[in-house]
Chains A and B, each alone.
Chain A
Amino acid sequence: MFIIDSLLIGGLRFVLDKVAAAADSELNDDTALREQLLAAQMRVELGEITQQEFELLEADILRRLRELREQRQGSHESALSSSDYEITGIEASFEGDEHALPARRR
């Protein structure tokens, strides 16, 4: 059983490594941030964090998303509201390919 367990862990390890390695990719930053926002929303629903804590997190994430957007588009953007970023689904790829498909945005 232990051998199997470590094989599994190995598999998970592989995936986690990929996530870490892709950290610089602007695509995964965007995706990861949006996931973080969704996770924060879920945590406040579960009562794991307070509404105040959530609002702080949300403000921080939106700020970073905005910075990311400005970096990419190189123009002045007005303040983003959370409705600009509808979390609908993530298509991050864990393959070796660094130039993965762009995230679907609705």
Chain B
Amino acid sequence: MSTDPAPSLGDALGLPLGGSPRRVPLRRGSLHAVEINPHQAFQRWLRPRRSVLETIALRGTWLDESDVRQLLRLSLPGIDEIAALLEMLRFGRSRKYDVVVVDTAPTGHTLRMLAMPAMLSVVAHVFEDMQAKHRAMVEALRGAWLVDEADALIRELTTDAQRLAGFLRDSETTELTLVSLPEVLAVEETIDALCSLMQSQIPVAHVVVNRVTLPPPQRCGWCDVRRRAETDALATLASRVDALPVPRGVLRVRLSIVGSRESEPVGLRDLRQVAAELAGRALVPRTSRTRAPAGVQFARLPATGLSGSHQIPAARLLMFGGKGGVGKTTCAAAAALDIAAAAPHRRVLLVSTDPAHSLADVLGSAISDTPQAVPDCPGNLRVRELDAARAFESMRERYAASVDSLFDRLARGSSFDAAYDRRVMQDLFALAPPGLDELAAVLNLVALLSDGGTDHGTGRALRAAAADGERRKVRRGFDVIVMDTAPTGHALRLLEMPETVQDWTKALMSILLKYQPVMGIGELGEALLSLSRALGRLRALLSNAAEAQFVVVTRAATLPRAETNRLLRRLRVLRMRVAAVVVNAAGAGTCSRCRSTERRERREIASLAVDTQRLPLMLAPAAVPPPVGARALGTWMQQWRTIR
């Protein structure tokens, strides 16, 4: 099953897949495949439980039926992670399958998903709070409490959460494999993921390094350089894995490699060959014997297109997105440097919203959540890796204060006991919502794009909601924001998020207005109002072609092209202007294998040119080692070619 919101499983199998498992035609054995449909999966879970959830909410809060119904109709941020969990539970429990193999979303969001059983426990706890108030009143009246459906649901959630958490940590039941590439950025991301998983006590059984270049058929300078760089990357991976503290009783992580093929493995026969290799070839770490030439080597690009002049427009907001591993971060960084150098009077911000940040690795410098200048980079450039948890924490503190004051008012002097309600509200606010990263990115954008607020004083609430240290920046603002997003699926969620959050904000506003005679509106209302207005401005900006544009990064291969086409379709629906499509890591060397690679790439690029119609199309050469740091990135960008 694939839990990736932008799945490629069907492409890899060469079979169209949907939200219900379908049989994969095999000669021997039984295999089914599915690309989960998050909305369907959630609705399937919600349907039989909806009325119980409504009951819990009605009993546990001062909301009435129409309020609860309104809220339950809204779409959830983080729906992909929720659905992934629910489907894993469903198929894991089903008697139809003995083994479930999961193709997960890219690193950052899979780590979020794996942390979700803990969140499920908290949700159950919040419901328990709501139920407790009701139970206390009934017991006071009737002197007894009979366990009901609500209790049953709460117990189900709690049990599921505990079982799932245990399941994921038990190496008898769960085997987690990390897949990497023999490139520095991929290796760094893999190591980060390993550390994170170890901290959560989720054991990793296996690390597979895919697409390792095998010896060329003839002498080839390019292949040699490539193999040397890959050997170094593999050696780094092996030594870093070795250095990790392994808890007692846990087996060492198995490292293996899968050789690069001339064409992508697609379909059952190709995949069986990969399987055979997965079982066999262990990673033998070696340091490379010969010294690599200094600097970056660029592949020869297929002889098409004009060299030099590439134009990435400096829109107010420029988002870089695409399939995982194609080189989004590298392209975003190069573009930001270029834009900053070309217009020294403009303040440029390069920000990563991917929970698995790679900006620091690409720039070769430490980066934090606070926008900072980076050595060797133009002085008008600031760089930031968004810390979603921290951004949410400061927002939560802000709102928790106003919710508290709301309950203070309600409690003072009246016979209405709000002790339970206050606890429920506080517990709710303790939840980090799924979709945290997209939420934080949107709120961050909202704060960055507010030019000091022109609303009557309500801008203040908004500015206060931005992270500390952002205040000064917000007042001055940035002229250009270059954003490196998470891979495709979650980049699309990010673009859908402003509408989702605005729907929630408005729903809460209308509930507040409804209860105004009793509770007043106060700071919470003011904050919600500013937020709703700012989100409206953000949505207007995103659909304004002059202000916000998207650059799709891809590679000259079949699966990335298929994903690119789906991404472009979705961007059209979202009315997001696409500035350009960049085909990254193009070109090869001189041996016969390289030449045949080049032919295949040319065919892919030609198909892509047809698919992308009139969009500007650029080629960026493969570079070994991948460009790191301002100078290398600048040199690399000089080599780009414009095809259209």
Residues of A within 8 A of B (CB): 3-4, 7-8, 10-12, 14-16, 18-19, 35, 38-39, 41-43, 45-46, 82-83, 85-90, 92-96, 106
Interface residues of B in 403-427 (CB under 8 A from A): 405, 409-410, 412-416
Interface residues of B in 503-535 (CB under 8 A from A): 506, 509-510, 512-513, 516-518, 520-523, 525-526, 528-529, 532-533
Q: Given known contacts A86-B460, A90-B521, what 19 new A-B pairs fall within 8 Å (CB)?
A: A10-B415, A15-B416, A15-B518, A38-B521, A39-B513, A39-B516, A41-B529, A42-B509, A42-B528, A45-B506, A45-B532, A46-B509, A87-B526, A88-B461, A89-B402, A90-B409, A93-B413, A96-B413, A106-B457
In the complex, the answer to whether B413 meets A42 with C-beta atoms within 8 Å is no
Total cross-chain contacts (CB, 8 A): 94
In the complex, the answer to whether B522 meets A45 with C-beta atoms within 8 Å is no
- List 26 interface pairs A-B (beta carbons < 8 Å), by A numbering: A4-B137, A7-B415, A10-B415, A12-B518, A14-B416, A15-B416, A18-B413, A19-B517, A35-B520, A35-B522, A38-B525, A38-B526, A39-B513, A42-B512, A42-B521, A45-B509, A45-B529, A45-B532, A46-B506, A83-B456, A86-B460, A89-B523, A90-B409, A90-B520, A95-B412, A106-B457
Bound Cα distance A11, B413 (Å): 10
Chain B minimum-CB-distance residue to A12: B518
Cβ-neighbour of A4 out of B141, B402, B410 (below 8 A) = B141
Chain A minimum-CB-distance residue to B418: A11
Q: Which residues of A contact B457 (CB under 8 A)?
A: 83, 85-88, 106
Q: How far is the CB of B622 from chain A (nearest CB, A)?
A: 50
Bound Cα distance A28, B500 (Å): 36
Q: How large is the interface on B (under 10, 10 to 19, 20 to 34, 35 or more residues)?
A: 20 to 34
In the complex, the answer to whether A38 meets B529 with C-beta atoms within 8 Å is yes
Bound Cα distance A35, B461 (Å): 16
In the complex, the answer to whether A82 meets B456 with C-beta atoms within 8 Å is yes
Chain B 197-239 per-residue mask, 1 if CB under 8 angstroms from chain A, else 0: 0000000000000000000000000000000000000000000
Interface residues of B in 16-45 (CB under 8 A from A): none
In the complex, B590 has a CB within 8 A of chain A: no
In the complex, B458 has a CB within 8 A of chain A: yes
Bound Cα distance A32, B533 (Å): 23
In the complex, the answer to whether A94 meets B416 with C-beta atoms within 8 Å is no
Cβ-neighbour of B414 out of A11, A45, A87 (below 8 A) = A11
In the complex, the answer to whether B529 meets A42 with C-beta atoms within 8 Å is yes
Q: Which residues of A contact B141 (CB under 8 A)?
A: 3-4
Bound Cα distance A3, B525 (Å): 32
Q: Which residues of A contact B456 (CB under 8 A)?
A: 82-83, 85-87
Q: Which residues of A contact B513 (CB under 8 A)?
A: 39, 42-43, 46
In the complex, the answer to whether B416 meets A12 with C-beta atoms within 8 Å is yes
Q: Which 7 residue pairs of A and B lie closest in terms of their CB atoms, listed nearest first?
A: A86-B457, A11-B416, A95-B413, A89-B523, A82-B456, A90-B522, A11-B415
Bound Cα distance A18, B137 (Å): 26
